[in-house]
Structure 1
Amino acid sequence: MTAADARSQALASQARRVHTEVLLRGLPAMVAILTTAVQDLLAQPAEHSLQMARRDAYDAWQRSSTPWHARLGKSLRHAYHHGAGDSRSASLSSRPQNLSLVSDDTIEREIIASRLALAMMDKASWEFSDLRNRMQSLERVEDLAQQDLLRAQVLARLVLDAWFEAGLSSSVWQMLQRWLHHEFSQLLNEAYHEANHWLIQQGVMPEVDLRPFIRRNAPAGGMTQAAPLAPATAHGGIAPQATPHGAQAFGAGAPAVPVGTPASQSAQQVMAQLQRVLARHVPELAQAPARPGMPMPGPATRSGLPAAPIGASVGGPTTRGGSPRLNAAINHAQEAVQRRADQVATVDQQLTAPQALDEIRHRNQALKQVLKSAADTPAERATIELVALLFQAILQEERIPPAIRVWFARLQMPVLRVAVGEPDFFATDDHPARRLIDRMGSCVMGFSTSTAEIGDALEREIKRVVQVVEAYPDTGRRVFQTVLTEFEKFLDHYFEQENEVSKKGVSLAQQVEQRETLAIQYTIELRKMLSEVPVQDGVRDFLFQVWADVLAVTGVRYGPQAEQTKAMKRAAADLIWSASAKVSREDRAEVIRRLPPLLKTLRDGMGHAGMGHERQDEHIRSLNNALAAAFTAKTAAIPRERLDDLMSQLETLEAMLPSPEAGEINETLVRDLSSHECDGLEVVAEGGAAPTPAMLAWARELQVGSWYMLDYRGRVEPVQLVWRGLRHHLILFVSPQGRGVLFQVSRLAAFLQAGLMLPAQDESLTVKATRNALAKLEVDPSRLLA
C-alpha cells in the first residue's frame, strides 16, 4: 500500500469515527427529549383506552429507556469497530403475532425500520450523497457496502434491534414515532455534516454544493419550504439518482428516453425541425457548441451561505453568457415581474387568477420588446423570441388551472436566462428547465378541468419550486436540476401520504409488492436448496408455485420467527420427507400418523394466502399422488442428515434472502396477481396482446403524476399514475373517485399497445409549445430577428 493510499484509508476511518461519535454524543439528549414527549403525552387529556395505553407506554419507557440507550450505544461502537453485518434483528424474537397483512394501524418490524430509514434520508440525503462521494474517492470503491454504518438503513436496524431487545414494543414506537423520526433525522444529518466538514478541512473535495445551499437559505418573500418528503427513487427515469462525484448530477441530464416510444419520437422530430429553422435563419444559434460537462459541486458548510440576491452568481459559468446589456435587462425584467406578483398577492387580492394571468401576458409581451432592444446579436434576439413563443403557448393551455399558469409565467425570465447562456436548450428535449416544466405540467393536466383539480400541497410545491428558481438566477441549469429532483421526491411523498384520493391505493399496492417480492425471493432460495435433493416433481412444483407464496404471506403477517411462520416451514420439510421413498413399515406408519395435521397445515397456509377451496382441493389431490408414489418406493429416499440440514436451512431462510433493492425481478417467476384484489384495488390480469419492446420501454418511462384515459371492465375514465414499485415492475393508477388499478409493466405495455390506455398528453408541454412556436415562425420567420 502506498503512502497516499494509507493516508486515504486513515482519513476514511477517521471520518467514520467522527460520524459515530456524533451519533453517540447525541443519544443522551434524544433520550431526554423522548422522556419529555412521553410525559407530555401522559399529561394530555384523552379517552380512557388511549390514556391507559399512554400510561403503559410511560411505564415501559421508564423501565427500558436506559437499557435501550446502553444497547444502542454498544451496538454503534461494535458496528464502528467490527461492522454491522452480524447484528441480529430483534424482530426474530419480539414481533407481535397477531398483525394483519392489510392494516393501516399496525406496521411490521421491517416496515418500521424502513420508514425510519426513509425519514432520516429525507432530511440527510444531500449530506449523505456528498459523504458517500468522498468515501468512495478515499476508499476507491464503487459504493458503500450494504452493511456500512454510514447507511441510514443500517442505523435504523441497530435502533430497532436495541429497541426490542430492551423490552420496548412496537406500540410504544408508534406512540413516539414522530419524535423518533425527527430526532434521528436531525442526529444523522448532523453526523453526516460533521464528517463532511472534517473531510473538507482535510482537503477532500472542498467544493460548494448548490443543493444544501438552496435548502438551508430560503429567500425572503414568503417562500414556503417543502413538506417532509418520502425518498424514493425518482420514478419514471427522469430525475438522476445519486452518482459518484463528477458523474450525472446538476446538468448531466437524465438518460435518453428509449428510442421508438411515441413521446421520444415526437420530441426528437420537433427539436430537429426547430434546429433546421434556426440553421436557416440564425446559424449562430443553431451551430452553437454542445455544452461541456460541469463538475459536481461539493457540500456547503453548516454555517450556511448568504442567500443569493437577483443577479448574484452562485455556481460556475454558463456555456455562453449574454451581453452585459441583455443580462441587466433580464435582471430588471425579473425584478419587475416578482414585484408586481407580490403587489397582486398583498394589495390586489380581489384580482382573480384569470385576470392576473392576463395581466402577466401583457406585461411579458411588453418586456419582450424591452429585452430585444437590449440584445446585441441576432442569436440573442432569436432566443428572446423563441422563449416568448414557448411561454405564450404554455400560458394558453386551458387544461392547466389559471392559478398554476400564473406561477408558470414567472419562469419565463429564468428560462430565458438559461436559454441565452445554454443554447442546447433549443437542441434537446431533456434540458432540466424543459423537464421541470413538463413534469409540473403533466401533474396538473387531465382530460378536463374536473380531472385536473389539484390539492393545496401540490400547488404550494409548484409555488416553492418557482420561487427557488427565481432566487438563484445565475446558476444555469443546476438550479432547475435541483428543484426537479426535489419535485420528483415530493410527488412520491404526496401521492403516498398527502393525497386523500391516492394514499389508500398506494398502501395496498405496496403491500402487494412486498408480498410478491418475498414470494419471488423465497422461490429462488427454495430452488437453490432443492437443486440436489431428490424431491418428487409434484411436491417440487407445489413448493415453488404455492408454498413460497404462503411463506411470504405468513412472514409478512407474523414475522419470520413467529410460531405461525415456523409451522409453515416445518410443513415444507415434512412434506419433502413424506414424499420421499418409504420402504420400512415404521416410516409408512409415521407418514400415516403425521399426514392429517400436515394436510390441515397445508390447507391453513393456502387459505391464509387467499386461495379458494376448489384450488386447495386440486393441490391436495396432486400431493396425495406424490405421497402414494412414496409408499410404492418410486421416489428416491432422502438421507436423514440431508433432511436435518434442509430443515435448518428452512429455519434460517430469511438470512439468505437478498435485499428488496438488490437485483432485478426475475420475470419468469412473476405470477398472476389477480388474487390480490380487494376493496379499493383492482389488479389487471388480462387484456391486450404481447407487447413489443418499444411498448415495454414506453410503459417503463411513464411518470408519476401524469394522466391517462383507461378503458377497463366496461368503464372509460381518467386515471393518474400515482405509484411505481421499487423496480418499476408494478404501476398503480388511481381515478378521481379513488379507484385503484394495479398493472404489471408487461400488462400495462399491452394496454398501451391496444389503445386501452391513452395519455392525456400526446407530447410533453414544452414539445407542444415548441410545435406551436414553429407554426408561427413558419408564417412569419422574420419575427426571430425583429
Structure 2
Amino acid sequence: MDFSPTSTAHRRLAHLARQRFVEGLCAGLPALDKTVHDFLTELMGQTATQRDMQLRRDAWMGHQAHRKTWVEHLGRAWRESLAPPPVTGRGTLNASKAFDGLELLGDDVLENKIIASRMALTLTEHVAAPFDAARQRTQHLEGRELAGTDILRPETLCLHLVEQWLEVGLQRDHLQMVIDPLQRELAALALAQYQALVKLYDEQGVVAQDDLRARVRRAAAGPNTGSPGEPPPASGPVGLASQALQQSRAALGRPTEFAPTRQAASAFMPPPPGMRGQPVMAGMGSPLVRARQRAQGVMMQLRRLLTQPTTGYDMVKAPPASAALAHALAAHRVSADSYYSDVATLVEDYSPQAVVRVASAVRERSVEFKKKASTASEKAIIEVVALMFQSILSEDRIPPSVRVWFARLQVPVLRVALAEPEFFSNLTHPARQLIDRMGACVLGFDASSINGSALEAEIRRIVQVIEQYPETGQRVFQLVHDEFEKFLAKFLTEKQGTSRIVSVAQQVEQRETLAIQYTIELRALLKDMPVRDEIREFLFKTWAEVLAMSAVRDGAQHASTAAFKRAAADLVWAAGAKPNRADRALVIQNLPALLQSLRQGLALIGVAGPEQDAQIKGITDTLADAFLSKTASIPQAHIDAMAKRLANLEDYIGDEALGDMPLSADNIEMLLGIDASSIHVIADNGAPVQDDMVAWAQQLPLGTWFTLDHNGASTQVQYAWHSQRKQLHLFATRDGGSYLIQLRRLGAYLQAGLLVAQEEESLTLRATRDALTKLDANPERLLG
C-alpha cells in the first residue's frame, strides 16, 4: 500500500496506533506497580542505619496506601494524552503557570522535568531503534513532527509518571529511591509496545521516506569545498537568512529527541582521579560506573546553571530562536568557507598561529551572536558553547590542523544546542560523541603525521558535510559519527602487518569457536553409542580441532574437511566390537587409509613427529582391543546417520558462547607462517576478574590511547581492533608492535590498573568542566 501523508485515513491509522500503544502500556501498569512493591519490600528486609530503615518503611507504607490510586491516575493521564493538544503556545502538561504572556516554572515543576528527562534517557537507551522507526512512520502519516507532548515520546511517558506519582500524594524522595527498578521495568514495557507499533505499521505497509543518508553520501563524494550538490532555494545572505529563520522556527521549536545509543556511553570513561593505576578491589563497584556518575555530576551542574531564574532555560522544550540570531547564524554559514580558506592560505598547513587566529574568531563570533540574542537563555547557551570550544582549541595535544577543523564546528554545535536541550544533559548526544571520538583518536598523533593523512581528510570531510546540512540537527551528527566509526575500523588496521595479524586473529577466534561447537555436536552424536573412552577423548579434544582448522582454512564443505568428517565416523565404526569375520576383514582393508587421514589431520594442527606417532599408536591399540571384543557392535545405521550429520554439521550447530580458548604466540605464528616476535600474545591465565570488568573491556571504543604495563614495561598503545565476538583485542604501538589480548585477561588488566586510558575524561566533558570553572569565577560573562 502506498501511503502519502496527511489524508484522513492516514491520520486515523496514526490515532489507532497511539491507542493501541497506550492500551498496551496501561495493561502493563500492574506489573510496573508490582516491581515497585517488590523492590520496597526487599529493601525493608535489608539491614541499614535506623534512619535509612525508617525512610524505607515510610516509602513502603506510602506506596501501599497510594499504589492503587497511582496506577489509576497514571493510566488515565496516558489515555488523556491521546486527545489532540489545544492550539496554544504552551504545552499541555501540568507544568507551568502563565502570567502576562510569560511562562513561569516553579521549582517543583522543574524538578519533575529533570527527573523525567533522566528517566527518559535510560528509557531511550533501551527503545531507541523501535521508537525511531515508530516516530518516523507516524510523522510520515501525519505530515508533521511529533508534538512535544505526544504520548509516543519517552519523555512524555516519564513526565506523566512523575507527575501522577506526586499528584496522588507519594513523595519525590521515595520516587528517587525506586527509580532504577522502575525505569528498567518501564523500559521493558515500552520496548514491547514500540515493537508492536512498528509491526502494526509494517502490516499496513507504512514506510517513512528519509533521504538524509543519501544526501550525506552525495556530499561525501563531492569536492572538499563548495556548495552542496543541490542548489539552495534562495541565494544571498537575505534569502539564506529567511530560509534559516523558517527552518529555525520549525526545527528549534521541536521538543527533545533523545539520540539512540549503542552502548551505555560512547566515550570511554576511565576510573576517576585517585583510581588511575590502582587495582580495583572487590565490592568497590565498576570504575566505569563511578566515572559516569562523575560525568553526570558535571552535566547536572551545567543544567543548574542554565535553568537558574536569570536564564529561565527550559531543559525539555527549547523555544524558537530569535529572528536576529537566526539571521546571524545563516550569514555565518555563507562566510565560513571563505574565512577558513583565507586562514589556510595565510598560514600554511594550519600552524599553531592559525589556531590562535581561529580561537580569537570563536570569541569574537560569540560576542556578535550574543548581541543578536533576544533572550537570556540564548546568551547563556552561546557563552557556554563558546567556552567549550575555547577549551577544545587550547588542547595543544591535538594537532593544529585538526583544531582548526574543530573550530568550524562551533556554529553547527551552537545550532544544535539552541534547538535541543538534550545537548546539555546527555553525554551521548551525537554532537558530543562525534567530537569526543575524533579528539580521542588524534591525541596520539603529532602535526607532521596527521597533516595530509587519511584521518585528517576524513575529519575535514565530516566537518564540511555538517556545515552543508545545518537544518538537520543531531541527525547529521549521528550519520557522520556512524560513518567515522566505520572509517576508523578500517584506518586502524590498514597497515599491512596489522591487517595480517587481524586476519589471523579472526581465524583463531573462528577456529576455536568451531572447535567448541564441533565438540558439543560430537558429544551429542556419541551420547548413546558404545564407544571407548580413549576414542571419545581423541574425538572431543583433538579431532574437533582438526575439523575446525580445516573448516577455517579451506571451508566447511571443502573436500579435505569432508574427508576429515568421514574419518571421524570411520574411526567410531572401527573402534566398535567386530563379532563377525566380514566386519573384521573390512576393518583390516580400510585401516591404512583411515590412519593416513588421521595423520594428515594431526599434521594440520601442528602435531607431528614423536607426538603424532604416540597418538596413532594409542588409537591402533584401542582398535586392536575392539577387534577382539565379543560385545555388541554399533549398528551400521547409527554410523551412517552420524556420517550424514557430520557432513552437514554447520547447518545444525548453534551460536554457543566461546568462553576460554587456548591462545599462544606459537599458534599465531603457525597461522601467520612468519616470525611473530613483534606480536605479544597475552592469553587468559585463569586470573579472577569481576564480570563488570569484562563488560567494561567489551565497551572500549576503537582509537582510544592507553598506557599498557606489561611485564614491567610501560608502553603507549592504541586500541586498534576487536574480533567479531570480542574475544580477542588488538592494541598497536607507534613502532609497529602489537599486543593481542584475550577478553578476560583484558578485563583483568583493567581491574589491576595495568591498562589505563591516557585521558581521564572525554574531550567535550573536559571542555564543559573548563567552561563551568570559568563561569564560576566570572558569572557575569554568562549574560554579558
Give the TM interval when normalised to the shorter protein.
0.5 to 0.7
Matches within 5 A, 1:179-218: 204-217=206-219
Query: Following the alignment from structure 1 to structure 2, what is the Cα–Cα distance between the partners of residues 615 and 286?
Result: 79
Q: Aligned with 1:741: secondary structure?
A: strand
Find the counterpart in structure 1 of residue 314 from structure 2.
288
Change over 3 Å in CA distance of 1:684–1:218 after alignment to 2: closer
State the shift of 1:760 in Å.
2.2
The 8 Å contact of residues 412 and 466 in structure 2, kept in 1 or not, is answered as yes
Corresponding residue number in structure 2 for 1:323: 322
* Candidates 446, 453, 457, aligned match of 1:456: 453
Shift >6 Å, 4+ stretches: 284-287
| SS in structure 2 at match of 1:718 | strand
Aligned to 2:738: 740
2: distance between equivalents of 1:252 and 1:673?
39
Matches for 1:45-444 after TM superposition, within 5 Å: 204-217=206-219, 222-223=224-225, 251-257=259-265, 261-263=286-288, 265-279=290-304, 282-283=307-308, 288-290=314-316, 320-345=319-344, 347-348=345-346, 350=348, 352-444=350-442
Residue of 480, 485, 489 corresponding to 1:488: 485
1:666 and 2:666 equivalent? Answer: no
Deviation at 1:542, TM superposition (A): 2.5
Structure ranking higher on relative contact order (CA contacts 8 Å, 6+ apart): 1
Q: CA deviation at 1:593?
A: 5.7
Contact 1:444 1:454 in 2 (8 A): no
User: Residue 539 of structure 1 contacts residue 579 of structure 1 at CA under 8 Å; is this kept in 2?
Assistant: yes
Bigger mean CA deviation after superposition, 703-712 or 210-219: 210-219
Q: Deviations over 1:122-167 (max 9, x none)?
A: xxxxxxx99xx99xx9xxxxxxxxxxxxxxxxxxxxxxxxxxxxxx
CA displacement at 1:500 relative to structure 2? 4.6
Looking at structure 1, the residues matched to 658 and 630 of structure 2 have their Cα atoms a distance apart, in angstroms, of 34
Structure 1 residue 635: deviation in Å? 7.5
Residues 206 and 567 (structure 1), Cα distance of their counterparts in 2 relative to 1, 3 Å cut: closer
Code of the residue aligned with 2:475 in structure 1: it is R
1:606 aligns with 2:598: no
In the TM superposition, what is the alpha-carbon distance from 1:485 to its structure 2 partner? 0.8
Partner SS state of residue 734, structure 1: strand
Please say if residues 372 and 381 of structure 1, whose CA atoms lie closer than 8 Å, have aligned partners that are also in contact.
Answer: yes
Taking structure 2 as the reference length, the TM-score comes to 0.62
The letter of the residue matching 2:260 is: A
For 1:485 and 1:610, how far apart are their aligned partners in 2?
42
Report if the CA contact (8 A) 2:302-2:424 is conserved: no
Give the equivalent residue in structure 1 for 2:652: 656
Letter in 2 for 1:288: D
- Call closer, same or farther: CA 1:545–1:481 in 2, change over 3 Å: same
**Cα displacement (A) at 1:576:** 1.2
Q: Mark the runs of 5 or more structure 2 residues left unpaired by the alignment.
A: 1-131, 141-200, 228-255, 270-284, 670-674
The alignment status of 1:677 with 2:675, answered yes or no, reads: no
Structure 2 CA distance for aligned equivalents of residues 612 and 455 of structure 1: 51
The change in CA–CA distance for 1:747 and 1:415 in structure 2 (over 3 A counts) is same
- 1:684-717 deviation digits (Å, cap 9, x = unpaired): 2146832212211110111122222223355432
Structure 1 residues 458 and 219 mapped into 2: Cα distance closer, same or farther (>3 Å)? closer
1:323–1:686 CA distance, 2 compared to 1 (3 A):
same
State the shift of 1:480 in Å. 0.3
| Residue identity matched to 1:403 | S
Offset at 1:525?
3.2
Q: Which position in structure 2 is the counterpart of 1:756?
A: 754
TM-superposition CA deviations, 1:542-578 (whole Å, max 9, x none): 3233212211222333344444223312221122123
Aligned pair partner of 1:475 in 440, 461, 472: 472
SS at the partner of 1:428?
coil
Task: Please report how far the alpha carbon of residue 720 of structure 1 lies from its aligned counterpart in structure 2 after TM superposition.
Answer: 1.8
Q: Counterpart amino acid of 2:704?
A: S
CA deviation vs aligned residue, 1:188-214 (integer Å, no higher than 9, x gap): xxxxxxxxxxx99x9842533311122
* Aligned CA distance change for structure 1 residues 461 and 395 (closer, same or farther; 3 Å): same
Task: Quickly say closer, same or farther: Cα 1:739–1:596, change in 2 above 3 A.
Answer: farther
Pick closer, same or farther for the CA change 1:625–1:283 going to 2, 3 Å.
farther
The CA deviation string for residues 76-125 of structure 1, in whole angstroms up to 9 with x for no partner, is xxxxxxxxxxxxxxxxxxxxxxxxxxxxxxxxxxxxxxxxxxxxxxxxxx
Sequence identity (%): 43
Q: Deviations over 1:567-617 (max 9, x none)?
A: 312221122123323445665565466555534432321221234656546
1:629 Cα deviation from its structure 2 partner:
5.6
Query: Residue 603 of structure 2 aligns to which amino acid in structure 1?
Result: G
Could you list the per-position Cα deviations for residues 24-79 of structure 1 after superposition, in whole angstroms to 9, with x for gaps in the alignment?
Answer: xxxxxxxxxxxxxxxxxxxxxxxxxxxxxxxxxxxxxxxxxxxxxxxxxxxxxxxx
Match of 2:727 in 1: 729
Q: 1:207 to 1:673 in 2, by over 3 A?
A: same
Is the radius of gyration larger for structure 1 or structure 2? 2
CA distance in 1, matches of 2:290, 2:592: 62
Counterpart in the other structure of 1:770: 768
Deviations for 1:753-779, whole angstroms, at most 9, x for unmatched residues? 122222222221112222222332332
Task: Report which stretch shifted further, 575-584 or 740-749.
Answer: 575-584
Pairs aligned (count): 537
User: In the alignment, is the contact (CA less than 8 A) between 2:535 and 2:575 conserved in 1?
Assistant: yes
The one-letter code matched in structure 2 to 1:486 is E
**CA–CA distance in 2 between the matches of 1:781 and 1:626?**
86
Report the TM-score when normalising by structure 1.
0.61
- Does 2:682 correspond to 1:698? no
Shift of 1:289: 4.2
Is residue 569 from structure 1 mapped to residue 565 from structure 2 by the alignment?
A: yes
Contact 1:372 / 1:384 at 8 angstroms: preserved in 2?
yes
Q: Is the 8 A contact 1:723 1:733 kept in 2?
A: yes
For residue 71 of structure 1, what is the aligned residue in structure 2? none
Answering whether residue 634 of structure 2 is matched by residue 643 of structure 1, we say: no
The structure-2 alpha-carbon separation of the partners of 1:666 and 1:531, relative to structure 1 and needing over 3 Å to count, comes to farther
Structure-1 residue corresponding to 2:43: none
CA distance 1:385–1:287, change in 2 (3 Å): closer
Equivalent pair of 1:728/1:745 in contact (CA under 8 Å):
yes
Offset from partner CA, 1:234-273 (integer Å, 9 cap, x none): xxxxxxxxxxxxxx99933334239965345324323323
Paired letter, 2:314: A
Q: Secondary structure at the match of 2:530?
A: coil
- Once residues 775 and 258 of structure 2 are traced to their aligned partners in structure 1, the CA distance between those partners, rounded to angstroms, is 32
- Preserved contact between residue 278 and residue 286 of structure 1 (Cα < 8 Å): no
Decide whether aligned partners of structure 1 residues 704 and 282 sit closer, same or farther in structure 2, where only a CA change above 3 A counts: same
- Amino acid across the alignment from 1:442: A
In 1, Cα distance between equivalents of 2:488 and 2:730 = 14
Distance 2:684 2:212 in 1: 48
